[in-house]
Amino acid sequence: MSTFEMQDRVARADGVPGGVRESKRRATHRRITEEGIRLFLERGYDATTLDEIAAAAEISRRSFFAYFKSKDEILLTWQRSGWEDLLAEVRLASADDSPLQVVRHALSRRMAGYETAQLKAIARVMCSNETLQATRFSAFAEQEKTLFEVLYERWPEPERRLALRLVAMTAMGALRVAVERWELPDNQRSLEQLFLETVDALAASIA
């Protein structure tokens, strides 16, 4: 299963109003994302133009802006792939479960679905200039915020609010550290392994 197959949950037209239109829109969004990523990997981010992405996705340049504000949003789409599924998993967790363990499991499941070679290649693209790196870390901050909001939605007791904020910060911080270790030139381990090791080491240190 590819990254975008994980992300894509195309609406079916089984009597659902607007189903066909939404299905087409999602398919186009996915096609632009896949073609953009392919071109970034082949030519480099800076060398790839919006016109080339639009042509590869078989849309006009004007249509491109109906889906993305800029080409860096294509990379954000990739980074956020599967995020809604992860949040849905957290929402369905038992109230008796440990929030940190729920997030640990959900994040590790998400990482296990990626192809390492593709993931590393895209990560190199996202580190290719300062603007992209800033965009990348901004996305991490946004994900931390939404994760906390969903955790508090699932465990809404006011007295748990601070602890849940720390869970979100811990999980996303562990992810960032794992990503940094995983991107090292001599690393041979999977991102999932590094994340689990990082979050478990942190959990053990504060137990």
Output the pLDDT for position 8.
45
Q: pTM for this one?
A: 0.79
C-alpha 167/C-alpha 118 separation (Å) is: 29
Give the pLDDT mean for 176-180: 90
C-alpha 144/C-alpha 42 separation (Å) is: 31
Give 128-177 pLDDT, tens digit per residue: 888 888 888 888 999 999 999 999 999 999 999 999 999 999 999 999 99
Predicted confidence band at 11 (pLDDT cuts at 50, 70, 90)?
Answer: very low
**Extents of the domains making up the chain:** 3-70, 82-206
Token readout for 17 is: 């109003």
C-alpha 33/C-alpha 27 separation (Å) is: 10
C-alpha 82/C-alpha 58 separation (Å) is: 25
CATH of 3-70, one of 3.40.50.300, 1.10.10.60, 1.10.3720.10, 2.60.120.460: 1.10.10.60
Token readout for 121 is: 């290649």
Would you say 50 and 29 are in contact if contact means Cβ atoms under 8 Å apart?
Answer: no
CATH number of 82-206: 1.10.357.10
Give 68-121 pLDDT, tens digit per residue: 999 999 998 888 878 988 999 999 999 999 999 999 999 998 887 666 777 788
Residue 59 pLDDT greater than 80, yes or no? yes
Give the CA radius of gyration of the chain. 18
C-alpha 3/C-alpha 56 separation (Å) is: 19
Give 183-196 pLDDT, tens digit per residue: 888 888 988 999 99
C-alpha 31/C-alpha 147 separation (Å) is: 27
Domains 3-70 and 82-206 fall in the same CATH topology: no
Alpha carbon separation from 115 to 2, 77, 82, 118, 191 (Å, rounded): 7, 17, 14, 5, 10
